[in-house]
């Protein structure tokens, strides 16, 4: 980053230069020197006072409270987001064990992998997307074999 | 529904949310909501858009909480997301078609209409109307307005504002300087001037005056 800058000269002082000095754009020692010189000029000092008054006006603006209707709207959106996140998060081992009808949570597969209903080989469980979250938990274990209707 | 304050710090709440604590994010939201709203409203100047920006930002934060690194304060991180959501909306707003002003529409404007318009403008300039601060801030370019809102209105340190806006600290200072100089004119602390005006010394038509509160 370049540290080169154009040091302002005055009087007369450019208003934007005074604003830069006021905002601390220049290094501290340069700023201190420029402030002394600007304050010694009545018109320069008046610009500094005007900038101070402006900052005072801005700092005295009252705090704003979010209106209730927007708070409700936002909380509803966040609630929906929370439901979606909960539906797509892998479920706990204990709950998975209960869902699979095991006698105890200890019997649940440690990795959360399910077994095919037909051949009992481990299969990857497909987690439901947001559109299916209301139907979660799934009532059937997955299968890796096609089901042939007779 | 009121959210109870558990007394946990912002960082603890973010960590708890990332671990699956369903109440942590609601508590964080309740804690920072109003200040985020103030930043959004003062940056966008439209309540509906500000509410949407805060909502978008909070949903982004909800999803990205597990990627939060404690290199910056949680409040700085949240405000950065809000400010970015606001600036995105301003950029999108710029691409929308606007209604042409009479001067741009190509319609014939009579000399008497032009004279009336000029008189009206002169009259307004002479009155040195102290504009409402909100209106005055609306006249600033959005980059200057965003810097002013964060530093001068919300009181964030320049370093935090720089992180929130993703620019160097010097850029924040320059934007504040430009914005304050314009606002000083709009609020009546400084007389109207052109950008290359100088004050003091031998310059004619001194453009500055000390503010004299009523």
| Phi, psi at B54, each rounded to 5° | -65, -45
Choose among A63, A73, A81: nearest Cβ to B59.
Answer: A81
Mean of all residue pLDDT scores within chain A: 73
The alpha carbon of residue B130 is apart from the nearest alpha carbon of chain A, in Å, by 12
3-state secondary structure of B190: strand
The secondary structure of residue A27, as a DSSP letter, is: -
For A22, the closest chain B residue by CA position comes to B177
- Asked if residue B57 lies in contact with residue B128, where contact means CB atoms within 8 angstroms, the answer is no
Over residues A13-38, mean pLDDT = 92
Beta bridge pairs of residue A13 = B199
Over residues B78-99, mean pLDDT = 80
C-beta pairs of A67-74 under 8 Å, 24+ apart in sequence? A67/B47, A70/B37, A70/B47, A70/B51, A70/B54, A71/B33, A73/B51, A73/B55, A74/B29, A74/B33, A74/B51, A74/B54, A74/B55, A74/B58
CA distance A136 to A126: 12
B143-188 pLDDT per residue, tens: 999 999 999 999 999 999 999 999 999 999 999 999 999 999 988 8
Between B3 and B12, the higher pLDDT residue: B12
ipTM of the complex: 0.70
For B190, the closest chain A residue by CA position comes to A50
The secondary structure of residue B152, as a DSSP letter, is: I
A89-121 pLDDT per residue, tens: 655 444 545 555 544 444 444 445 566 666 777
CA distance B22 to A83: 10
Max CA distance (Å), chain B: 70
Between A74 and A142, the higher pLDDT residue: A74
What count of Cα atoms within 13 Å lies in the side-chain half-sphere of residue A37? 17
Taking only residues 68 to 97 of chain B, the set having a beta carbon closer than 8 angstroms to any beta carbon of chain A reads none
Structure pTM?
A: 0.66
Substitution target from A41, A48, A53 for chain B, most B beta carbons within 10 A: A53
**Record: contact B211-A50, CB cut-off 8 A:** yes
CA distance A97 to A108: 4
**Record: contact B208-A89, CB cut-off 8 A:** no
CA distance B17 to A132: 24
Taking alpha carbons only, the member of B90, B20, B89, B15 closest to residue B55 is: B89
Substitution target from B198, B202, B207 for chain A, most A beta carbons within 10 A: B198
A57 contacts in B (CB within 8 Å)? Answer: 133, 183, 187, 189
- Give the per-residue pLDDT at B152: 94
- Give the per-residue pLDDT at B197: 54
B181-205 pLDDT per residue, tens: 999 998 888 876 554 455 554 333 3
Helical (H) or strand (E) element with A122: strand A122-123
The per-residue DSSP string of B80-126 comes to HHHHHHHHHHHHHHHHS--PPPTTTS-----HHHHHHHHHHHHHHHH
| Phi, psi at B190, each rounded to 5° | -135, 140
Cβ contacts of A56 within 8 Å, gap of 6 or more: none
Between B202 and B136, the higher pLDDT residue: B136
**Would the pLDDT of B207 be above 50?**
no
Taking only residues 54 to 73 of chain A, the set having a beta carbon closer than 8 angstroms to any beta carbon of chain B reads 54-55, 57-59, 61, 63-67, 70-71, 73
Q: Which residues of B1-36 are buried (b: 16+ CB within 10 A; e: fewer)?
A: eeeeeeeeebeebbbbbeeebeebbbbbbbbbbebb
CB contact B1 to A (< 8 Å): yes
- Asked if residue B181 lies in contact with residue B187, where contact means CB atoms within 8 angstroms, the answer is no
Choose among A22, A50, A58: nearest Cβ to B177.
Answer: A22
CA distance B52 to B116: 41
Q: Report the percentage of chain B scoring pLDDT > 70.
A: 69
- CA angle, residues A86, A90, A94, in degrees to nearest 5: 105
Q: Which bin fits B20, alpha (ψ -120 to 50), beta or left (φ > 0)?
A: left
Candidate from A114-123, B8-17, B43-52, B120-129 with smallest mean pLDDT: B120-129
CA distance A7 to A34: 9
CA distance B118 to B124: 10
Over residues A125-133, mean pLDDT = 50
CA distance B211 to A41: 16
- Asked if residue A38 lies in contact with residue A18, where contact means CB atoms within 8 angstroms, the answer is yes
């Amino acid at each position: 980053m370049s540290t080169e800058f154009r040091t302002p000269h005055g009087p007369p002082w450019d208003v934007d230069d005074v604003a830069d000095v006021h905002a601390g754009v220049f290094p501290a020692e340069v700023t201190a020197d420029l402030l002394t010189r600007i304050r010694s000029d009545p018109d320069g000092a008046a610009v500094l006072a005007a900038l101070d008054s402006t900052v005072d006006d801005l700092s005295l603006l009252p705090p704003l409270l979010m209106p209730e209707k927007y708070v409700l709207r936002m909380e509803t959106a966040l609630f929906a987001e929370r439901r979606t996140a909960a539906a797509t998060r892998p479920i706990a081992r204990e709950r998975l064990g209960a869902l699979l009808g095991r006698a105890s949570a200890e019997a649940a597969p440690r990795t959360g992998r399910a077994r095919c209903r037909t051949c009992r080989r481990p299969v990857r469980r497909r987690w439901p997307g947001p559109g299916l979250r209301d139907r979660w938990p799934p009532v059937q274990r997955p299968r890796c074999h096609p089901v042939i209707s007779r | 529904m009121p959210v109870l304050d558990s007394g946990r710090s912002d960082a603890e709440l973010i960590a708890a949310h990332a671990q699956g604590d369903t109440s942590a994010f609601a508590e964080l939201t309740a804690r920072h909501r109003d200040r985020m709203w103030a930043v959004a409203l003062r940056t966008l100047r439209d309540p509906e858009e500000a509410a949407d920006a805060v909502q978008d930002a909070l949903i982004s934060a909800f999803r990205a909480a597990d990627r939060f690194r404690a290199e910056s304060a949680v409040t700085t991180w949240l405000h950065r997301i809000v400010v970015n959501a606001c600036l995105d909306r301003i950029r999108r707003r710029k691409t929308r078609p606007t209604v042409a002003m009479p001067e741009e529409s190509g319609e014939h404007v009579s000399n008497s209409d032009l004279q009336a318009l000029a008189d009206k403008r002169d009259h307004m300039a002479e009155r040195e109307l102290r504009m409402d601060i909100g209106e005055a801030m609306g006249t600033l370019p959005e980059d200057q307005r965003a810097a002013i809102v964060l530093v001068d209105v919300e009181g964030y340190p320049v370093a935090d504002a720089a992180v929130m806006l993703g620019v160097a600290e010097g850029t924040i200072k320059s934007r504040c300087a430009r914005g304050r100089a314009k606002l000083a004119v709009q609020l009546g602390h400084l007389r109207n001037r052109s950008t290359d005006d100088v004050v003091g010394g031998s310059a004619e038509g001194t453009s500055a005056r000390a503010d004299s509160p009523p």
